[in-house]
Amino acid sequence: MGPPSYAGSLQRSWYYGFRVICGLIFIFLIAPILVIIPLSFNAEPYFTFTEGMLTLDPEAFSLRWYEDIIANPQWLHSIKNSLIVGFFATLLATTLGTVAALGLSRPYMPYKQIIMPLLISPMIVPLIISAAAMYFFYSSIGLSQTLPGIILAHTALGTPFVVITVTATLVGFDYSLTRASASLGAPPARTFFKVTMPLILPGMISGGLFAFITSFDEVVVVLFLAGFEQRTIPRQMWAGIREQISPTILAVATLLVMASIVLLVTLELLRRRNERLRGIRA
Amino acid sequence: MTSTTANDAIIRTAEGVPLKLKLLRTTRRNRIVAFCLVVPLLLFILVTFLVPIAVMLLRSVDNPIVAETLPQTVAALEHWSGQGVPDEAAFAALAEEFTLARENRTIGRAATRLNFELSGMRSLVTSTARTLSRGEQGPYKELLIEIDGRWGEQKTWATIKLIGQRYTTVQYLASFDLHYDAAGRIVAQPEVRQIYVQIFMRTLWVSLLVTVLCLLLGYPVAYLLSTLPSRISNMLMILVLLPFWTSLLVRTTAWIVLLQTHGVINDLLVWAGLIGDESRVQMIYNMTGTIVAMTHILLPFMVLPIYSVMKTISPSHMRAALSLGANPLVAFWRVYAPQTVPGIGAGSILVFIISIGYYITPALVGGRTGQLISNFIAFHMQKSLNWGLAAALGTVLLACVLLLYWLYSRVVGLDKLKLG
C-alpha cells in the first residue's frame, strides 16, 4: 500500500488527501447507522449520549427499551404482521416472478419489449401513486384493512425484483441441460425441480430476499391500506416517529440493522456460490 | 424415408411431415409455452396494479358528484349564456334538487366539491338547502337571492355550471395553478392560491440537488473502491451496502437522532464550544433535513452503477496517458472520466427518478418547508379528500417519471437494470 515510489510530493499529498475525503464520505454513510446502536442501550429516555454513556458508566446503559418491545403488545403484534405479510408476499412474488422469468428468458418469447416494462412497472411508479391506486382498488373489493390485501399489494411491489434477478441468472443458461433431461424422459415439472431450479436457486433466493425486504420495509402502501390491526413494523415506527417518540424505536432500529447485516452476508455468500457454479472465478 | 423420391425437393421428417411445417409448428408451440409462463404474472400485475392505477388516474378527469346531485340544474344551465344570472327555470331546478339532496344526505358532498373551486360555496350551499327545507315556495329566483345575495352573482352560477360537467379539465388546470375565470377563460389562480407550480419546481430542484450531491460524494468513493485491491474494496463495499440494505425508516430515524436540536451533532457542537447552548442549529424539520437525509439514503444508488462501470476500465489507459506525458489531471479528465459517463448517467437518472417521487423522508423530516409533490398528493388523498386533484397531480408526476425512465432505457437499457 501507499503511493507509488515514483510519485512526487504533490501526488503524495493528493494520494492521502483523496483517501481522507473518501474516509469522510464513508463516515457519512455509516455513522448514522452506527450511532443508533449505542443509543438504544441508553438508560435515560433521551436521543443523545448522556454523560454517563460517554464515561462508559455501566449504570448509564440498560436494556429497558428492548424490554419495552417485548412488553408492548403493539410492537409484538406489528412484528407478527410484518413477518406474516413478508412471508406470504415473498412466497407469491417468488413463485409468480420465477415462472414469468422462465418464460421471458425463452428465445421465442413474443412481445417481450412490451411485456417487460409492464412487469417491472410496480418498481417504476412512485409509491405514493401506487398506494393511492391500491387504496381505491382494495377498498372497492373489500380487501382494505385486511392482511390479504396488504399481502397482495406487497406481492405486486416485490415481483419486479424477482423477475429482474432470475432473468439475469438465466442469461447464459445452458438449455441443453433441460433438453437432456427431457430426452431422458423427465416430464417438464421434474426437469424444472431437478435441473433448472438448483441452477437458478441463487437468483431465486436473492430475488426473494429483495421481495421480502421490499415488503418488510414498505410503509406508504401500508399507511393507506392498513387499519390499526394490520400495523407492520415500519408503520409502527412511523407512528413512533410522528406521535410519541421514544428510544424504543432505536431498539427496534438496532434489531433491524442486525437483520440487514445477516441479509447482506447471506447475499454475499449466494453471490460467491453463483460465481463458483458458473465458473466465473475458480 | 422410402416414400421420398429423388426429385422431391421438400425435406421431410421421419413421420413424413415437411420439415419447414414441422419447424413452424415447434416454434409456435415454443412461443405459446413461453407466453403461458408469463401470463399468470402479467394478469396479476394487470389486475392488482395497472388497472387500479389507470382507474385512479381517470379520477383526474372524472367529475360525477355535482352532475349526479344536481342533474336538472346542470341541464337548465346548459342554455344559460354565462352573462348575468340564469332564468327562473334554473333557480327552480336548483331549489328542488337542493331539498331532495338534503333529504338524501348527498348535499354535503356536492357542497364540498363546489367549495374546492370557489371557497365559500360549502356554507352557501348547506345554509341555502337548510332554509329551503323549511318548505319555502317560489318564485325561486327572488327567494334564493333573498336567502343569500350570492345567488344573484354570476360567478356562483358559473362555478356550478363548470363543476357540473361530467368530465373536466379543472383538476389539471389546478395542478398548474390555473383556473377558469367567471367568463370561462383560462387564467392564473390568484397569488395566494398558487402553490403547485412552486411545489413541482421545488421537487425538481431538490431532486437535482440531491442528484448532484450524490454524484459529488459517490464518484470519489466509486473510484476508490474500483482501484483498491479487491480484498480491501470488498470490505469497504460493506460500508456502502449496509446502508443500502438498512430499513428506510431506520435511516430516517438515525438522521432525526443526529440532527435534531437536542441531537448528537448539536450536542457535539455545543460541547466543542462552537455554538452556544441557546443558539442550537435547526437542521431538521426543514429543507436541510430533507436534503441531507435523502442524499444519505440515495448515495448507494449512485455509487453502485458508477462502480460497476469503473470496474471495467483498464488501469493501463491511465498509465498509457501518463507515460505519454499527460498531466495527471488532464489524463483523468480526457482519458478516464469520459469512460465513466455511462455509469454517471445511469446513477444520476436513477437517483433523480427515485427522489422525484419521494414521500417518506420529506414527510418525517421535512417539516413545513421540506415537503415535496408526493406529500401534497398524500395530503389531498387523506386530509382534504380532493381525490380529483390528487389524481391530476399524480398523473403529472407519473408522466415526469415515465419520461425519465424512457431516457434511462435509452441511456442504459431497462434490461441492464441491476440490483445489489
Same domain, residue pair B75 and B118: yes
CATH number at residue B257: 1.10.3720.10
Same domain, residue pair B243 and B161: no
pLDDT over 90 (residue A127): yes
Please judge whether B401 and A29 are an interchain contact, meaning their C-beta atoms are less than 8 angstroms apart.
no
Q: What is the pLDDT of residue A83?
A: 94
Could you please report the per-residue DSSP string of chain A?
Answer: --S-TT--HHHHHHHHHHHHHHHHHHHHHHHHHHHHHHHTTBSSS-SS--HHHHTT-GGGB--HHHHHHHH-HHHHHHHHHHHHHHHHHHHHHHHHHHHHHHHHHSTT-TTHHHHHHHHHHHHHS-HHHHHHHHHHHHHHTT-TTSHHHHHHHHHHHHHHHHHHHHHHHHTT--HHHHHHHHHTT--HHHHIIIIIHHHHHHHHHHHHHHHHHHHHH--HHHHHH--GGG--HHHHHHHHHHT---THHHHHHHHHHHHHHHHHHHHHHHHHHHHHHTTS--
Asked if residue B83 is part of any domain, the answer here is: yes
Note the pLDDT tens digit of each residue in A136-191.
999 999 988 999 999 999 999 999 999 988 988 888 788 889 889 999 999 988 99
Same domain, residue pair B229 and B119: no
Same domain, residue pair B283 and B208: yes
Same domain, residue pair B233 and B340: yes
Domain extents for chain A? 73-245
Q: pLDDT: is A205 or B43 the higher one? A: B43
Return the ∠ at Cα B336 (arms to B335 and B339), rounded to 5°. 95
Find residue B167's DSSP bridge partners.
B62
Q: Model confidence at A281, in pLDDT bands (50, 70, 90)?
A: very low
Q: Model confidence at A280, in pLDDT bands (50, 70, 90)?
A: low
Q: What is the pLDDT of residue A231?
A: 92
3-state secondary structure of B25: helix
Q: pLDDT: is A9 or B336 the higher one? A: B336
Asked if residue B47 is part of any domain, the answer here is: no
Asked if residue B50 is part of any domain, the answer here is: no
Q: Domain boundary residue among B119, B145, B166?
A: B166
Who contacts B143 (Cβ-Cβ below 8 Å, separation ≥6)? B91, B95, B136, B137
Task: Please name the residue that has the C-alpha cell 411491489.
Answer: A157
Q: What is the pLDDT of residue B8?
A: 58
d(CA B125, CA B111) in angstroms, rounded, equals: 6
Q: Which of residues 213-242 of B touch A (CB under 8 A)?
A: 217, 220-221, 224, 236, 238-242
Please judge whether A47 and B41 are an interchain contact, meaning their C-beta atoms are less than 8 angstroms apart.
no
| pLDDT tens-digit profile, chain B (420 residues) | 444 454 557 788 788 888 888 889 888 988 898 899 999 999 999 999 999 999 988 988 888 888 888 888 888 888 887 788 888 888 888 888 888 888 888 888 888 888 888 888 888 888 888 888 887 777 888 888 888 888 888 888 888 888 888 888 888 988 888 888 777 788 888 887 888 999 999 999 999 999 999 999 999 999 999 989 888 888 898 899 999 888 889 999 899 888 888 888 888 888 888 888 888 888 888 898 899 999 999 999 999 989 988 988 888 988 899 889 888 888 889 999 999 988 898 889 889 989 999 999 999 988 888 899 999 999 999 888 888 999 999 999 999 999 988 888 887 765 555 554
Same domain, residue pair B250 and B374: yes
Same domain, residue pair B319 and B398: yes
Asked if residue B382 is part of any domain, the answer here is: yes
Q: Which of residues 314-353 of B touch A (CB under 8 A)?
A: 328, 353
Please judge whether A119 and B40 are an interchain contact, meaning their C-beta atoms are less than 8 angstroms apart.
no
**Cell (9 digits) for B4:** 421420398
Task: Report the residue of B245, B262, B375 to disrupt the A interface, i.e. the one with the largest count of A CBs within 10 Å.
Answer: B245
Same domain, residue pair B324 and B238: yes
Mean pLDDT of A209-215: 90
Q: What is the pLDDT of residue B420?
A: 41
d(CA A116, CA B110) in angstroms, rounded, equals: 43
Quickly name the fold that domain A73-245 has.
MetI-like fold (1.10.3720)
**Cell (9 digits) for A24:** 469522510
pLDDT over 90 (residue A10): no
Residue B374 lies in domain: 196-416
Q: In chain B, which residue's Cα lies nearest the Cα of A158? A: B45
Q: What is the pLDDT of residue B46?
A: 95
Please judge whether B414 and A120 are an interchain contact, meaning their C-beta atoms are less than 8 angstroms apart.
yes
Same domain, residue pair B146 and B95: yes
Please judge whether A110 and B35 are an interchain contact, meaning their C-beta atoms are less than 8 angstroms apart.
yes
Same domain, residue pair B77 and B119: yes
Q: What is the pLDDT of residue B1?
A: 45
Asked if residue B347 is part of any domain, the answer here is: yes
3-state secondary structure of B340: coil
Asked if residue B371 is part of any domain, the answer here is: yes
Q: What is the pLDDT of residue B417?
A: 56
**Average pLDDT value over all residues in chain A:** 87
ipTM: 0.87
Same domain, residue pair B204 and B155: no
Contacts of B224 in chain A (CB under 8 A): 18-19, 22
Smallest Cβ distance to A136: which of B55, B263, B267? B55
Same domain, residue pair B355 and B402: yes
Give the number of domains in chain B.
2
